[in-house]
């Protein structure tokens, strides 16, 4: 069926929102403030919800980041009269994938907005009923659970949890081990080591426990991410690829050199886990990777763009055929373990380097899109290459961008002839290749809706299991 102009515009609008929902977190970026990010994102959410509500809800089934998933849920629950089919199921399924602290934060936002309709109360009740241990939540997420139960008028299934939250002086002891440990930790120093790390920190400060002593004794109760944040020893072999790349980039150069074998093996193992059965199946791959100064990110997203590029480097190495991968860093670096964010962004020159010699089967560009040495060269190189040298598209090309451009309401693009997709984690790279076909303008809204319908069906089926 022939696509109308309005259908093509709608498809572009939806893809623009998906790119934003993957990359934007409302935090400061290298070239825009947190306020600009939040304002831009708020407009996009409102625009897509009003004009494409079924697609807006379906985005919950995609690999968008947690910040935007929570925003979508909040906006859907704020407007119940416009609700469509499957919205409730999509919301419930997505909430089970969000970190508990973010869900409780969402419930607090709904209370502040005075959203307390029947559907909201049912979703809150269902989510709380699915929690493995509300006693644990009462200790670790006390304010959040208290707010949720009070706002939705929900009786807690266990009387002890209710007393702990709303009448803490009623019981002299609790049967639930964590609840009783929290009670004892007010006057018994040893009890704090029975609590979750984030709760125990406050009691340790109250009792004047030296930080090093506290971290050593609480270590068995710390999660993997908590150990990483506090610089405790961690098992690199099980860390996700992007977090591992962030950890490597946080180390001094000397330590990276000293631990080269260990760090390289861990990065390749993480990339191999992500590649899975597709390892070695992408043929000849050429990558252009941005390690310019803007890859340093911001104070709240330190080195995040560079970490995504480093993770993509090792993932593409795993996906390429053995010995058929070449990496071209914008700085000219040849040692990925020692990359650092510095210098301009000569993307055009590096793309020429990547296309020199035998044509790759895939060209992957990982960059924030600010081509400035000289400006515009990358777009011109890609235009000439697509129209004159490879009009048959023998080489598949994609540009993935880890930075949301608040002014443009999208991730910054390099050329119309090469699709651009937003990327949050290097682990999402392979999945983004699938959706990139829609960004080329050769497919329209009907194909995009069909793709979203398939993703929703798989998402809900997986959630039901």
Q: What is the spatial distance between Cα 258 and Cα 253, in angstroms, rounded to a whole number?
A: 9
- Return the pLDDT at 235: 72
* Alpha carbon 138 to its chain's center: 27
* Token pair listed for 42: 């708020």
**Both structure tokens of 459:** 């998402």
Cα–Cα separations (whole angstroms), residue 345 to 277, 293, 329: 34, 8, 10
Question: How far is the C-alpha of 389 from the C-alpha of 382, rounded, in Å?
Answer: 10
- For 96-187, where are the alpha helices, taking DSSP H only? 100-112, 118-129, 134-140, 142-151, 159-166, 177-185
Read off the DSSP letter of residue 332.
-
Instruction: Give the per-residue pLDDT at 450.
Output: 86
CB 58 within 8 A of CB 87: no
Q: What is the CA radius of gyration of the chain?
A: 24
User: What is the pLDDT, as a whole number, of residue 335?
Assistant: 96
Q: What is the pLDDT of residue 232?
A: 57
DSSP 3-state assignment of 401? Answer: strand
Q: Name which of 13, 115, 21, 24 is nearest 74 in CA terms.
A: 115
Q: What is the mean pLDDT of each run of 10 residues along the chain (465 residues)?
A: 65 88 92 93 95 93 94 95 87 95 96 92 92 92 93 83 88 92 93 94 94 91 79 74 94 95 96 94 96 93 96 97 96 95 94 92 95 91 91 91 92 90 92 74 71 90 85
Cβ proximity of 112 and 74 under 8 Å? no
Neighbouring-strand partners of residue 410: 405
Q: What is the pLDDT of residue 1?
A: 43
Q: Hey, is 326 helix, strand or coil?
A: strand
- Calpha distance 236→247 (Å, rounded): 9
- Residue with the two structure tokens 């831009």: 40
Q: Write down the pLDDT at residue 85.
A: 80
Domains identified in the chain and CATH numbers: 5-184 (no CATH), 186-234 (no CATH), 240-443 (3.40.50)
Residue 258 DSSP symbol:
H
Both tokens of 33, joined, read: 């403030």
DSSP string, 11-80: HHHHHHHHHHHHH--SS--SSS-HHHHHHHHHHHHHHHHHH-HHHHHHGGGSS--HHHHHHHHHHHHH-G
Q: Are 435 and 421 in contact (CB under 8 A)?
A: yes
């Amino acid at each position: 069926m022939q696509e109308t102009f309005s259908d093509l515009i709608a498809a572009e609008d939806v893809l623009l929102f998906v790119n934003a929902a993957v990359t934007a977190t409302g935090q400061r970026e290298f070239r825009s403030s947190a306020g600009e990010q939040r304002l831009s994102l708020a407009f996009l959410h409102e625009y897509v919800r009003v004009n494409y509500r079924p697609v807006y809800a379906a985005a919950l089934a995609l690999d968008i980041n947690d910040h935007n998933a929570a925003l979508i849920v909040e906006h859907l629950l704020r407007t119940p009269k416009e609700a469509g089919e499957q919205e409730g199921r999509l919301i419930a399924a997505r909430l089970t994938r969000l970190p508990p602290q973010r869900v409780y934060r969402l419930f607090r936002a709904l209370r502040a907005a005075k959203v307390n309709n029947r559907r909201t109360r049912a979703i809150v009740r269902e989510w709380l009923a699915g929690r493995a241990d509300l006693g644990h939540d009462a200790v670790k997420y006390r304010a959040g659970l208290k707010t949720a139960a009070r706002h939705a008028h929900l009786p807690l299934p266990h009387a002890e949890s209710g007393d702990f939250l709303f009448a803490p002086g009623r019981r002299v002891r609790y049967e639930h081990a964590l609840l009783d440990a929290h009670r004892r930790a007010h006057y018994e120093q040893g009890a704090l080591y029975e609590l979750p790390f984030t709760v125990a920190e406050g009691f340790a400060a109250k009792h004047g426990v030296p930080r090093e002593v506290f971290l050593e004794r609480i270590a068995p109760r710390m999660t993997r991410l908590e150990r990483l944040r506090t610089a405790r020893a961690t098992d690199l072999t099980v860390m996700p690829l992007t977090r591992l790349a962030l950890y490597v980039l946080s180390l001094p150069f000397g330590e990276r050199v000293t631990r080269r074998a260990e760090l390289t093996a861990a990065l390749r193992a993480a990339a191999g886990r992500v590649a899975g059965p597709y390892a070695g199946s992408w043929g000849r791959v050429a990558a252009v990777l941005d390690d310019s100064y803007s890859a340093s990110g911001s104070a709240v997203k330190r080195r995040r763009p560079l970490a995504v590029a480093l993770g993509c480097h090792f993932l593409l190495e795993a996906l390429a055929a053995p010995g058929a991968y070449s990496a071209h860093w914008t700085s000219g670096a040849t040692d990925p373990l020692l990359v650092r964010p510095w210098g301009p962004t000569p993307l055009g020159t590096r793309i020429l380097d990547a296309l020199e010699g035998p044509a790759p089967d895939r060209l992957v560009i990982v960059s924030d899109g600010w081509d400035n040495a000289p400006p515009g060269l990358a777009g011109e190189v890609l235009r000439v290459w697509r129209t004159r040298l490879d009009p048959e598209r023998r080489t598949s090309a994609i540009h993935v961008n880890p930075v949301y451009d608040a002014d443009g309401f999208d991730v910054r693009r390099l050329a119309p002839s090469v699709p651009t997709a937003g990327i949050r984690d290097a682990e999402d790279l392979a999945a983004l290749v699938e959706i990139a076909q829609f960004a080329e303008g050769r497919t329209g809204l009907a194909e995009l809706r069909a793709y979203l319908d398939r993703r929703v069906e798989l998402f809900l089926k997986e959630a039901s299991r």
